[in-house]
Each structure stands twice: as structure tokens, then as C-alpha cells.
A = this chain, B = another copy of it.
Amino acid sequence: MDSELLIKAEKAKKASYKLSGFSAAVKNEGLKKIAEELVRNESSILDANSTDVENARNKGAGSALIDRLALNSKRIASMAEGLLQVMSLPDPVGEVISMWKRPNGLMIGQQRVPIGVIGMIYEARPNVTVDAAGLCLKSGNAVILRGGSEAINSNKAIAAAIKAGLREAGIPEDAVQLIEDTGRETAVEMMKLNRYIDVLIPRGGAGLIQTVVKNSTVPVIETGTGNCHVYIDGDADLEMGESIIINAKTSRPAVCNAAETLLVDEAVAEKFLPKALKALEDLNVEIRGCERTREIFKNARPATEEDWYTEYLDYILAVKVVRGIDEAIEHINRYGTRHSEAIVTTNYTKAQRFLQEIDAAAVYVNASTRFTDGGEFGFGAEIGISNQKLHARGPVGLKELTTIKYIIYGNGQIR
């Protein structure tokens, strides 16, 4: 007998052929109905979610995991709002990006088409279920969702609401498949399912992502482990610097665009660090500093080489005093994960150098790394942040969920 995955994957593939021909009007109706069903089923979703949260607490989950898992009215409203935002975005499918005429008279056009079936492997964030379903629907792709066991009850309740919405809009509910078997073998099976799955998008911690990248024969969009840095330059506005590092570290430490390391030019370290680190400490951030940092700020624990590599996803910050922008760039390109990197400076030349020489998906001057996000970039909800270089880099929104097809109009041309 076929596994749950095989049965659902085949259904998804079939649905994907139908979906690719649906008009924006039909897909938008689907998004609207799903949003309505999410809000209508809020209490059953929150009930299921409290079971998940309780189970996680009983297993001793940390505060970062609970933050990713827990839903409330506001988060459900925000998921529904995300769908309406996607609804308002232009349909990427069918757009002919460009068309040109060759000297031999051939008309060659690049047309956006859906990718087909997207496989999502993710962890404990139930909002991924909604974001992925919405973005895949709008971009004409079927989706197979395999979330973490911690969120299974929330995901089932959300998937039921999604399927209800699809039915009401006359869209095959097979277009969205939730895999209820959250065992490891099912995930491994997905990674080899080239027959039905066109692209896999893992979303979660570094361990999950590396497992998928290393074991998958299905092409992968590698979403980002974010070991992000904020560099306070010698020419920085120090108040701006303090506000940016506080925001980048503490506004939501569990997400990938949160800062993990603060780099400070030695020229301003003595002036900047005592006040900024005290403020961070008051917000419950543990400071791990280099030797110079610890001379300036006695409360800092010693940072080890490993700290420079670590994505804490928690209330911990590594701090290093550097000899100006050269060492800052070198440090970031060496230890960073090419996700989001920020410089705070009033110096034009150093701002331009940082933008050009840092190798990362998103490079900021005078802004928090927390803006690397589909919504904040104006793409609507996103399905993940890619820090690979192929296909999609940065927030993966609607356009990144399509591919192109060349359509060629001839009148008998031969070569």
C-alpha cells in the first residue's frame, strides 16, 4: 500500500495541472475564502494550538520554540491579513516578462509559469502553513506541507480551514496537502520524490536545512540560517546605532533576521558599549564579548570562537571590538551566513564599500536587519528567506515561486 505521502503527492501533482490554468479571479476568491475560514475557525485553531503548546511545555521546550509555536487572536488575524495582502498583489502567472524579435523573424517571449508542486518541510511555526498555502495558491502551485510534530494539531486545524476555503471557491482542495505523519522517514521520502515534487523549501533551524540540502535529490531552495551582524562604524550616529542593535536583537530574537553579533569600531567602543550593552542587558540579553569588550563592560561573559559562528535565536548577543571597516567586512564574510548584514555610519564611502563588499542576501545601511522579510519588502507574505545564490536570494515571494517558459512564434524558420 502506498504511503500517505505518495497518495497525497500524486493528488497534488494532478491538482497542479489544473491550478496552473486558473485565473487570478478564482485564485483570489480562494485566498479570501481561506482568510474568512481562518477567522471563523479561530476558536478551534486556538484550542488545537493550546494542546500543541501544552505538549511542548511538558517536553521542556524553550521560550524561543514556544514563541514560534504559540498562536493568539492577533496572530491568526495577521495570517488572514497576510492572505488578503497576497490577494491584492498582481498574479505573476502568465506575465510575458519580455518578448523580442530576432533578425530571422522569430518572436521569442519569456512567460512566467508556475513551478508545479512545492514541498515544504518546516518546524514549529503554524503560520508557515498559511503563508505557504496562500503564496503557492496565488502563484498557481500545488503544495505539500510537512510541518513539525510540535505543531501538528494546529496545522490540522489550519489545513481544515484552508480546505474549506478552497472548496467554497471551487478550487480542488487537493492543491494543498498536509502530511499528518510527522516522522523522519516521511521527510526523507519527500527529499527523493522527484517524480511528484518540483522544488523543496525547508524552513527552520540549521540542522533541518542542512539535512534537506545534503539528502535531497529534489532541487532545494535553501532558506536562511541567519547569523546576522550589526556593525557600528567609527562614524556612526551612536544613538541610531543603539536603537538599531536593540531592535535587531530583541524585537523577535527567534527569527532568522535577528542580529546575533554586534561589531563595534574600536574608535567608538568606549563611548558606545557601556550604555548600549546596559540597555540590552536590561532587556534580558546575555552579552558574550571579546577581550576588549569585557574590559569595557565587565558583565560580559567571554565569547569563544564558536560564538562568532552561532545563530542563537535567543536573548544572547556576541560582541566584538574591531579595527574599523576592513576587519568588520572580513569578520562578516568569514563567519556570517550571507543573510542580512547592517552597517551604522554617516560616512558615504564606508556605506558604499559595505554595500559592495559584503556577500549577503540583504545588506543594510542605517537600518535594522529585521526588515529582511517578504511583507517588509513589499512582496506580501513570504515562504522563507533564501540565502542561497541560485534562483531566489532573500525573501521568497510570488515571483520566486514561478519559473519561466520561452514561447516562440515562427512562420517556418529553420536553422
Q: Hey, which bits of chain A sit against chain B, CB under 8 A?
A: 21, 100, 102, 106, 108, 115-116, 198-199, 213-214, 217, 219-222, 237, 240, 243-244, 246-248, 251, 355-356, 359-368, 370-372, 376-378, 388-391, 393-394, 403-415
Contact = CB atoms under 8 A, between A and B. Distances in A.
Contacts of A405: 359-363, 393
| From A359, A407, A408, residue with most partner B Cβ within 10 Å | A408
Contacts of A409: 365-367
A378 B198 contact: no
Nearest to A221: B390
A415 B376 contact: yes
Contact of A393 (B244, B403, B415): B403
Contact of A414 (B244, B365, B372, B377): B244
B115 A371 contact: no
Contacts of A376: 102, 415
A414 B243 contact: yes
Contacts of A355: 407
A124 to B, nearest CB: 22
A7 to B, nearest CB: 21
A95 to B, nearest CB: 14
Nearest to A354: B407
Nearest to A366: B410
A217 B213 contact: yes
A217 B214 contact: yes
Contacts of A21: 356
Nearest to A240: B412
Contacts of A217: 213-214
26 contacts: A102-B377, A102-B378, A108-B377, A219-B222, A219-B388, A237-B412, A244-B412, A246-B414, A248-B414, A355-B407, A360-B405, A364-B408, A364-B410, A365-B408, A366-B409, A366-B412, A367-B409, A367-B410, A367-B411, A368-B414, A368-B415, A370-B414, A371-B408, A371-B415, A389-B403, A393-B405
Contacts of A214: 217
A376 B406 CA distance: 13
A363 B410 CA distance: 11
A87 B375 CA distance: 39
A413 B367 contact: yes
A115 B116 CA distance: 26
Contacts of A246: 414
B390 A247 contact: no
Given A366-B410, A389-B403, 18 more contacts: A100-B378, A106-B367, A108-B377, A108-B378, A115-B390, A116-B359, A199-B389, A214-B217, A243-B412, A363-B408, A364-B410, A365-B410, A366-B409, A367-B412, A370-B414, A377-B406, A393-B403, A393-B406
Contacts of A406: 361-363, 372, 377, 393-394
Nearest to A115: B389
Q: Which residue, of A106, A364, A406, has the highest number of chain B Cβ atoms within 10 A?
A: A406
A248 B404 CA distance: 23
Contacts of A102: 376-378
Nearest to A213: B217
Given A363-B406, A366-B411, A367-B408, A390 B391 contact: yes
Contacts of A365: 408-410
Contacts of A221: 390
A413 B371 contact: yes
Contacts of A404: 393-394
Nearest to A94: B356
Nearest to A210: B217
Contacts of A244: 412, 414
A367 B105 CA distance: 10
A404 B102 CA distance: 28
A108 B378 CA distance: 10
